[in-house]
Chains A and B, each alone.
Chain A
Amino acid sequence: MTLEDDTRPGAIPVPSLEYVMSVRLELGNAFTSPTLSSGVQYGQVDVLSGDFSGPDIRGIALPSGGDTPVVRADGVVLLDARYFLQTDDGVLIRIANRGVFRMPSDVRRRIDAGEPVDPGEYYIRTSPTFEVPLGRYDWLSRHTFVGIGRRHQTGNLIHYYRVD
């Protein structure tokens, strides 16, 4: 096989995304710093409660962490969240969720006011990693996932897809 063959589209299969679950979080204690000496703003927000469900998994989000994002000078927010999920059969799952959050200020204002906003008006995408004990859910720590987020007045909703 030549290099030319290797670089044809489709020589490596195009990944497909398989829906696995949606995580709904209620958030609180939000704080965003002014611009600090490093040139960025830092934020923090705690996970207060939540739940999640998918075809083969469901449970709750524990009040066990939150997000410590960086707000760049260009307004893009780099998400860096860490917290725990607990399945309905008692398994703890740690999620570390990094991502990109872009939202025009007027869209944020409308969401904060509880007004309906088209999800196409902003961008929340994440690349989570899951730490899971060996057992029924350990496939979560053997795959790559992407998350697609929706923001609402008091929290967010993120749909997760396995990269197959």
Chain B
Amino acid sequence: MTDMPAGIDPVPPPPELVHALTVVLELDHATGSLRTPVMSSRLAYGHIGVKGGWFRGKDLSGVLIAGGGDWPTIRDDGVVSFDASYFLRAQDGTIIRLHNRGLRFTGGPGDAPDESWVPGAPRAFAETDGVYFRTTPQFDVEPGPHAWLSRTVFVGVGARTPTGNRIDYYAVT
């Protein structure tokens, strides 16, 4: 165990991550990206639209509302820093805004999971090997049974699919 400065208790165990929901996005990759040598040598901006999709979790499922998408910045070091915004509509009609920021690059320290625990989920590409695709989402939800989503911190683990991507969200307990 690491020595701690005086007055600091031993490091607490890490918080438990509990799966909350999985979001499968159908994306429109049609639009390109812009490299702007004005800013730096390789910095580029892109856009990917949300065409649709679905999500499922405990006591929670529904569909994606078409529109919105991701406005990524491709950094000089090749890391894609994404900034996505779109809406989910739960089966009970609740509207959920998902603002999802994160990183994706190859050669990362972790592999994205590839299990298809949800029936009908597309299999992820084999590209998950060595890809780091992690997100820090913020959910903003109508008052009601799902409002806990906007009072909880989550981490997301993503994988590309043939038609978009899949991100598993875990609540930080």
Contact = CB atoms under 8 A, between A and B. Distances in A.
Interface of A: 28-31, 33-38, 42, 44-46, 62-66, 68, 82-84, 92-94, 131-134, 138, 141
Interface residues of B, number: 30
Query: What 5 A-B pairs come out closest when comparing CB atoms?
Result: A29-B67, A64-B31, A37-B150, A44-B68, A36-B140
B156 interface: no
16 contacts: A29-B68, A31-B67, A33-B97, A36-B97, A37-B142, A37-B150, A38-B140, A42-B97, A44-B85, A46-B67, A62-B31, A68-B85, A82-B45, A92-B32, A133-B38, A138-B38
Contact of A63 (B31, B37, B71, B151): B31
B166 interface: no
Contacts of B66: 29
Interface of B: 30-32, 34-39, 45, 47, 49, 65-69, 71, 85-87, 95, 97, 140-143, 147, 150-151
Contacts of B68: 29, 31, 44, 46, 66, 68
Contacts, number: 93
Given A45-B67, A46-B67, A36 B85 contact: no
A111 B150 CA distance: 35
Nearest to A44: B68
Contacts of B97: 33, 36, 42
